[in-house]
């Protein structure tokens, strides 16, 4: 049995030697590229030391990709899938850095590879950071890679640290004096914009500790806080964005900064029905009645997107804005609200209950699709029944109390010595019916 093991081992060694021998016979860039692509250090040493392959060789990689080509024709647009040939330039260092082959990278640098050579659009350091290879990033920096070097698009390595896994790469770059406030050439975005948009709160902490400007504006006049609020649209990532915004605000972010369309962070958080973000911004004195260039308030933004955000319970955001003194929708425009929010009856209920009395008309009934009416029949029947009757005395008392408290409803009502259910009623908690 021992003899069989020895024979199998010898066969395996012979196979490996034959493979390397075959690669050596091929010589040239092809074998050199294969050694790099597979992280084969022994073969790489052979190609460089024996066959004198240039460690700064520029590889031209051709790839074939199917792309949709649209062609205008007489009756509209038609197209077809076309095979496109794409060329990409790369270098041995970039290949090793992209795969995380630290030993190959170390060897190439020892043999004279240039760490700051831009090939195609970026350097090896950009590639290592983009792929979150911490060890490769450290080796490159220790061998003189410039942490402030820009790609052809004007991106620094720090701009490419845009995933949670790239945190240690970012920390190394800053240790080697990367510019934390470097702006991209086209969009004028700082690294803080990038990580705020990605919801990377650890990166945000790190960049601020190294002096990142918290209120820097990009080409659209958007701050990192605005970028974070605009990006918090996925339910599963809202906690990350909440942490990002808390850190930014604690470090002096302006909650009422506006972009080139006059949209504030509250406009963006409301549009995403991000309840916790809305509450955070309002606690820090965000303007609940700010108007953007389209004439929309934060309340109007959440109403517009409510039908598409049902999983986020947009009625809670509407309720919060109203309890902080948001101006209500003009009564004559309520049919438009009914039309756009028909699939979100709780949103309609909260809005409707914020008025003392608003006339229900036949037009309201016409804009609600039959299938939605059937799906939420008890609510819509209770709403349309008010076409010929006034609101209840209980509701009128609620309206009077809310008018007295004004924009402090959220603070004063919970302090009242009343049952919790009555407190919820005063705060417009939806019940599923109106009366």
**217 lies in a domain?**
no
**119 lies in a domain?**
yes
Confidence band, pLDDT 50/70/90 cuts, at residue 86: low
Mean pLDDT of 146-158: 94
Residue 186 C-alpha from the chain's centroid: 19
Q: What is the pLDDT of residues 98-115, one digit of tens each?
A: 999 999 999 999 999 999
* Residue ranges with strand state E in 4-124: 59-73, 76-90
Looking at residue 162, its pLDDT comes to 96
**377 lies in a domain?**
yes
Q: Could you say which of 123, 145, 167 is where a domain stops? A: 145
Indicate which CATH number applies to the domain containing 106. Answer: 1.25.40.20
Give, as one character, the DSSP assignment of residue 236. Answer: G
Neighbours of 149 (CB within 10 A): 18
End-to-end CA distance of the chain: 89
Confidence band, pLDDT 50/70/90 cuts, at residue 79: low
**242 lies in a domain?**
no
Residue 44: name the closest of 112, 104, 89 by CA.
Answer: 104
Q: What average pLDDT does the chain have?
A: 89
**173 lies in a domain?**
no
**251 lies in a domain?**
no
Looking at residue 180, its pLDDT comes to 98
Residue that has been written with the tokens 């990377």 in this structure = 200
Confidence band, pLDDT 50/70/90 cuts, at residue 122: very high
- SS3 assignment, position 194: helix
Cα gap 274→196, rounded to integer Å:
16
Looking at residue 62, its pLDDT comes to 63
Q: What is the pLDDT of residues 153-209, one digit of tens each?
A: 899 999 999 999 999 999 999 999 999 999 999 999 999 999 999 999 999 999 999
Q: Could you say which of 145, 163, 182 is where a domain stops? A: 145
**354 lies in a domain?**
yes
Neighbours of 145 (CB within 10 A): 27
Q: Could you say which of 145, 172, 187 is where a domain stops? A: 145
Looking at residue 316, its pLDDT comes to 97
Question: Which tokens hold the place of 23?
Answer: 């690669």
Looking at residue 74, its pLDDT comes to 44
Q: H-type helices in 238-344, by residue range? A: 238-250, 265-271, 275-283, 298-305, 314-323, 334-341
What residue numbers bound the domain in which 380 lies? 328-435
Mean pLDDT of 426-432: 96
**210 lies in a domain?**
no
Looking at residue 4, its pLDDT comes to 52
Phi, psi (degrees; rounded to nearest 5) at 59: -90, 140
Confidence band, pLDDT 50/70/90 cuts, at residue 66: low
Mean pLDDT of 363-378: 93
Number of domains in the chain: 2
The fraction of the chain above a pLDDT of 90, given in percent, is: 75
Helix axis angle for 191-198 and 201-209, nearest 10°, is: 160
């Amino acid at each position: 049995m021992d003899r069989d093991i020895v024979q199998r081992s010898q066969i395996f060694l012979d196979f490996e030697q034959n493979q390397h021998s075959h690669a050596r016979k091929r010589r040239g860039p092809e074998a050199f590229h294969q050694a790099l692509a597979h992280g084969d250090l022994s073969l790489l040493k052979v190609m460089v030391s024996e066959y004198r392959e240039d460690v700064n060789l520029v590889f031209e990689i051709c790839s074939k990709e199917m792309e949709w080509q649209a062609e205008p024709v007489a009756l509209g647009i038609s197209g077809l899938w076309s095979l496109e040939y794409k060329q990409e330039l790369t270098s041995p260092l970039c290949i090793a850095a992209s795969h995380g082959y630290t030993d190959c990278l170390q060897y190439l640098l020892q043999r004279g590879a240039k760490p700051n050579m831009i090939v195609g659009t970026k350097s090896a350091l950009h590639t290592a950071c983009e792929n979150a290879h911490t060890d490769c990033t450290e080796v490159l920096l220790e061998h003189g890679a410039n942490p402030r070097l820009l790609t052809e698009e004007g991106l620094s390595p720090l701009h490419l640290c845009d995933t949670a896994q790239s945190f240690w790469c970012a920390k190394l770059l800053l240790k080697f004096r990367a510019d934390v406030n470097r702006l991209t050439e086209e969009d004028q975005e700082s690294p803080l914009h990038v990580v705020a948009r990605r919801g990377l709160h650890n990166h945000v902490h790190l960049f601020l500790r190294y002096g990142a400007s918290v209120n820097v504006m990009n080409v659209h006049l958007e701050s990192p806080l605005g970028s974070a609020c605009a990006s918090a649209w996925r339910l599963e990532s809202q906690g990350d964005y909440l942490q990002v915004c808390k850190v930014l605000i604690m470090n002096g972010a302006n909650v009422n900064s506006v972009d080139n369309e006059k949209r504030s962070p509250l406009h963006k958080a409301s549009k995403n029905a991000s309840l916790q973000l809305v509450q955070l911004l309002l606690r820090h004195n965000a303007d609940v009645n700010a108007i953007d260039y389209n004439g929309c308030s934060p309340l109007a933004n959440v109403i517009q997107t409510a039908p598409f955000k049902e999983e986020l319970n947009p009625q809670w955001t509407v309720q919060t804005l109203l309890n902080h003194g948001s101006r209500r929708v003009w009564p004559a425009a309520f049919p438009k609200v009914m039309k756009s929010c028909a699939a979100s009856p709780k949103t309609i209920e909260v809005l409707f209950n914020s008025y003392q009395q608003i006339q229900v008309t036949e037009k309201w009934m016409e804009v609600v699709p039959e299938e939605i009416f059937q799906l939420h029949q008890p609510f819509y029947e209770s709403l349309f029944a008010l076409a010929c009757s006034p609101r209840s005395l209980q509701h009128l008392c609620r309206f009077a109390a809310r008018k007295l408290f004004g924009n402090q409803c959220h603070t004063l009502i919970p302090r009242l010595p009343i049952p919790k259910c009555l407190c919820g009623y005063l705060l417009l908690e939806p019940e599923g019916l109106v009366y």
